[in-house]
Structure 1
Amino acid sequence: MTTTLVTERLRLEPCGMDHHDGLCVVNRDPEVMRYIGGRPQTAEETRAWIGRAETRWTDLGYSWWAIRPAATGEIVGACCLQHIENDPVQELEIGWRLLPAHWGRGYATEAARAMIGFGFQELGAPRLFSIADPRNTASIRVMQRLGMRSLGLRRHYGTDAATYVLDRP
């Protein structure tokens, strides 16, 4: 089962191959990918990424969503609820990526709040994590705005990452 999340301004649609063209624009942008792997993705890498997301939607009932503002319907980013390092024995994390033209509009915070609600209410998660490159101050500010607390630097995805947690109320 896949779940679309709707907020005041956004529609979060489970990533599928019908989102490929829009997600290619997001994933090939060097500014978007600067803190996420360090390099833009090719169309083939994005296709494989979507394929993995579709499998997780089928197997787990959560994964990556394409972010679409209701006003335009264009894909402006992606957000996820997944296990840290995609390892099912690890805790759940939320994450996001947005095209630079849409930074500073509160979309990441709005999408994250929807994912937090889904994680706590639908999945019964006891806590949710968020992880960022320590230089990614914009994402860290989103984590703080969400009320997440810092756990300092922890090793994730092969690098030291700013790690935040939010406990279920």
Structure 2
Amino acid sequence: MTRIEAEVIETERLLLVPQRVEHAREVAVVLADPALYTFIGGEPATAEELATRYARMAAGPSDPAVSWCNWVIRLREGEEGDGQGRLAGTVQATISPAGPRDEPWVVADIAWVVGTSMQGRGIATEAARGLVRRLEQHPVRDIAAHVHPDHAASAAVARAVGLEPTDEWHDGEVRWLRRLLRPEAR
């Protein structure tokens, strides 16, 4: 499997821009509300902590079969009077091989987070749809997300991009799944 790189993704109202270390300070401000971490755990990261994390992510995973694709979500210039390119949150995809060794396939685990002040506008759904459309252009068979069972807003985003809840749990979250390619279509 060839690594997949994050590239700019355009939607009607948003630009998903590949995440860089330079975004850390702005992301720290947008994601500073402790309420954002109610379902995902943890606490807001400082700009310095994010810069360190983003540098590590930019270096990429040690496994050449895995791709880490990370974006910041920006409103298009002047969208809803929010200024030029205001940052709203982040989306990400970890793309890796799955399945048995004799018939492997590729799965993309996706996630999204939108700052509290930007929620309720469909931004997470639009960003996740843009990400899924991009993943559909690659040989990805499954798209998955992990959603806390009480997080109705994230469940709505998952459902909007065609994911369905499974019986699988990981760290207190339900695995949602969308199968893009049937095994015989690979």
Aligned position for 1:11: 15
- Alpha-carbon distance, 1:89 to partner: 4.8
Superposed, which structure 2 residues align to 1:11-90 within 5 Å?
11-56=15-60, 62-70=68-76, 71=79, 72=83, 73-83=85-95, 88-89=96-97
Aligned position for 2:101: none
User: C-alpha separation between the residues in 1 aligned to 2:132 and 2:48?
Assistant: 30
User: C-alpha separation between the residues in 2 aligned to 1:36 and 1:160?
Assistant: 10
User: C-alpha separation between the residues in 2 aligned to 1:2 and 1:161?
Assistant: 26
User: C-alpha separation between the residues in 2 aligned to 1:120 and 1:52?
Assistant: 27
Ranges of 4+ aligned residues in structure 1 off by more than 4 Å: 59-62
User: C-alpha separation between the residues in 2 aligned to 1:145 and 1:25?
Assistant: 28
Q: Tell whether the 8 Å contact from 2:144 to 2:176 is kept in structure 1 after alignment.
A: yes
Larger CA deviation: 99-108 vs 59-68: 59-68
Q: Tell whether the 8 Å contact from 1:150 to 1:163 is kept in structure 2 after alignment.
A: yes
Q: Compare the two structures and name the one with the higher helix fraction.
A: 1
User: C-alpha separation between the residues in 2 aligned to 1:147 and 1:2?
Assistant: 22
Aligned position for 2:104: none
- TM-score with structure 1 length normalisation? 0.84
- Alpha-carbon distance, 1:52 to partner: 2.7
SS of the residue 1:64 aligns to: strand
Q: CA RMSD in A?
A: 2.1
Structure 1 gap ranges (5+): none
- TM-score with structure 2 length normalisation? 0.77
The 1:107–1:13 alpha-carbon spacing in structure 2 relative to 1, beyond 3 Å, is same
User: C-alpha separation between the residues in 2 aligned to 1:140 and 1:114?
Assistant: 17
* Aligned residues between the structures: 160
Aligned position for 2:178: 166
Larger CA deviation: 91-100 vs 35-44: 35-44
Structure with higher Rg: it is 2
- AA in 2 matched with 1:8: E
SS of the residue 1:76 aligns to: strand
Answer yes or no: is 1:127 the counterpart of 2:142. Answer: yes
Q: Tell whether the 8 Å contact from 1:153 to 1:160 is kept in structure 2 after alignment.
A: no
| Identity percentage of aligned residues | 26
SS of the residue 1:142 aligns to: helix
- AA in 2 matched with 1:21: R
- AA in 2 matched with 1:14: P
Q: Tell whether the 8 Å contact from 1:13 to 1:67 is kept in structure 2 after alignment.
A: yes
